[in-house]
């Protein structure tokens, strides 16, 4: 039964992902007093791209062709670690958060290689910048999770969620706040959002992620776009389940799960609004200010880790 729910969660995360990015851009449009495209547009785009043909540069090797697929595969695998409506996931009780982070890293590694394989200047540029960002993002990402896992005395995500679930909202500690801050910043960087990267730009000076995928077209591009959408959704879900899991269905029952699902939608909407707000009010940072941004995140997360010793007493 739990397995069913776990599969369901995975499906929600994967299939709902384009919707999330659609809604985010819609909200952004509203904030900018625009009509904005339909929230279903990402689905349509992905579908269209899947129908288009796939162009490959002559210089490219199999790495170029496989990079999007590996990226997609790893993202799906990462999804299997994230609980949504029930404090468990396909792999969440077997493996810990290190797997989550490094599985994502594997995908990113291949995507960067694919970018370099294109043989154009943009690919290299994007890959190089991505390398910088992800390098600096990794430490705060892990440290933030470490802080929570120390409190929870569990390394596996299910255990961490369970622990938070057993507390009530009011005895969340400074550690949680610090960790949440750093992780939120990291999520912005990881998913190529403002102020680190601008998902909608194609301006040479600013683009990171877009620069990498510039050579991709057709189904490959579809996979890349979908994967990044899934990544965003999964990370949001992770934030929710780590810092606000209350309302998850602790017992396995249709009604409980349904309620949890609704509650989840509410939470994710809140996060999406927050994200949209941030993206609309914050200006994109200059490339060489990104390290400072992530440095702050790292410092905050380190602080969170140090505070654990006080909180545990």
Partner 1 sequence: MQVVSIQVAFGFLLASLGLLAPLVLIASRTKRARAFAITLIVGSNVVGWFVAALCFWGESKLALTFSGFTPFPFALGLDRLSAFFLLLICTVAVPVAIFAVSYFDKHYGEQRRNWIWAFFSLFLLSMITVVTASTGFAFLVGWELMTLLSAGLILMEGDSAERRHNVFIYLLMMHAGAAAVVASFFLFLPYSHSLDFAGIRAASPVVPAGIRVLIFLLAFVGFGTKAGIIPLHLWLPRAHPIAPSPASALMSGVMLKTAVYGFVRFAFDFLGGGPSWFGYVVLVAGAVSGLLGVLYAIAEHDLKRLLAYHSVENIGIIYLGLGTSLVFLANHAPVLAALALIAALLHTLNHALFKSLLFLGAGAISNATHTVDLEELGGLQRRMPVTGTAFLIACCSIVGLPLFNGFISEWLTFRSFLAGSVLLNTKAQIVLPLMVGVLALIGGLAAACFVKVFGVAFLGRPRSSEAEHAVEAPLLMRGGMTMLAAACLLIGILPGVLLRPLASLTQVLIPGAGVPDETVSIARIIPWIAAIILGVTAITALTTRVQRMAPTWGCGLSQLTSRMQYTSTAFSKPIRFVFSSVYKPDRKLDKLPTDKPYFPVSISYRSVRTTSYEKALYRPFVDLIVSAAHQLRRLQTGNIQVYLLYIFLTLVALLTFLRFQR
Confirm if 312 and 150 have CB atoms less than 8 A apart: yes
Cβ closest to partner 1, residue 11 vs residue 262: 11
Q: Compare residues 118 and 244 and give the one whose CB is closer to partner 1.
A: 118
Decide whether 151 or 272 has the Cβ nearer to partner 1: 151
Q: How far is the CB of 143 from partner 1 (least distance, A)?
A: 5
Closest to 69 in 3D by CA, of 211, 223, 217, 215: 223
Contacts 24+ apart (CB under 8 A), 146-150: 146/301, 146/305, 147/175, 147/178, 147/179, 147/301, 147/304, 147/305, 147/307, 147/308, 148/175, 148/176, 148/179, 148/242, 149/96, 149/97, 150/305, 150/308, 150/312
Q: How far is the CB of 280 from partner 1 (least distance, A)?
A: 27
Q: Which is nearer to partner 1, 278 or 287 (CB)?
A: 287
Report the nearest approach of partner 1 to the CB of residue 51 (Å). Answer: 9
Compare residues 161 and 230 and give the one whose CB is closer to partner 1.
230
Q: Which is nearer to partner 1, 153 or 281 (CB)?
A: 153
- Cβ closer to partner 1: 114 or 247? 114
CB 8 → partner 1: shortest distance, Å? 16
Per the DSSP assignment, residues forming a β-bridge with 156 are: 96
CB of 131 to partner 1, least distance (A): 4
Candidates 300, 313, 305, 310; CA nearest to 149 is 305
165 in Cβ contact with 245 (< 8 Å):
yes
Q: How far is the CB of 255 from partner 1 (least distance, A)?
A: 30
Q: Are 112 and 130 in contact, with CB atoms under 8 Å apart?
A: yes
- Residue 33 Cβ vs partner 1, minimum distance, rounded to whole Å: 34
Give me the residues paired with residue 96 across strands.
156
Q: First CA to last CA across the chain, in angstroms?
A: 39
Q: For residue 115, give the nearest of 265, 216, 219, 21 by alpha carbon.
A: 216
Angle at 110 between CA 109 and CA 114, to 5 degrees: 125
């Amino acid at each position: 039964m739990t397995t069913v729910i776990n599969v369901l969660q995975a499906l929600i995360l994967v299939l709902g992902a384009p919707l999330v990015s659609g809604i985010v851009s819609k909200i952004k449009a509203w904030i900018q007093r625009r009509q904005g495209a339909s929230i279903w547009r990402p689905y349509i785009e992905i579908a269209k791209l899947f129908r288009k043909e796939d162009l490959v540069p002559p210089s490219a090797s199999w790495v170029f062709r496989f990079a999007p697929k590996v990226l997609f595969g790893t993202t799906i695998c990462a999804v299997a670690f994230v609980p949504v409506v029930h404090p468990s996931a396909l792999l969440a009780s077997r493996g810990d958060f290190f797997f989550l982070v490094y599985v994502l890293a594997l995908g990113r590694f291949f995507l960067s290689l694919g970018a370099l394989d294109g043989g154009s200047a943009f690919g290299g540029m994007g890959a190089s910048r991505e390398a910088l960002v992800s390098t600096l993002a990794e430490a705060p990402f892990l440290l933030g999770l470490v802080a929570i896992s120390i409190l929870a005395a569990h390394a596996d995500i299910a255990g961490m969620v369970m622990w938070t679930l057993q507390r009530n909202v009011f005895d969340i500690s400074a550690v949680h706040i610090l960790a949440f801050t750093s992780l939120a910043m990291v999520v912005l960087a990881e998913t190529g959002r403002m102020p680190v990267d601008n998902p909608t730009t194609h301006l040479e000076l600013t683009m990171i992620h877009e620069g990498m995928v510039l050579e991709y077209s057709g189904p490959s591009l579809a996979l890349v776009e979908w994967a990044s959408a899934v990544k965003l959704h999964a990370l949001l879900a992770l934030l929710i389940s780590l810092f606000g899991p209350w309302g998850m269905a602790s017992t396995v029952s249709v009604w409980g799960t349904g309620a949890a699902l609704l509650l989840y939608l509410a939470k994710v909407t809140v996060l999406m609004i927050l994200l949209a707000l941030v993206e609309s009010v914050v200006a994109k940072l200059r490339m060489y200010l990104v390290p400072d941004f992530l440095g702050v995140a790292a410092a905050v997360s380190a602080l969170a880790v140090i505070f654990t010793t006080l909180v545990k007493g």
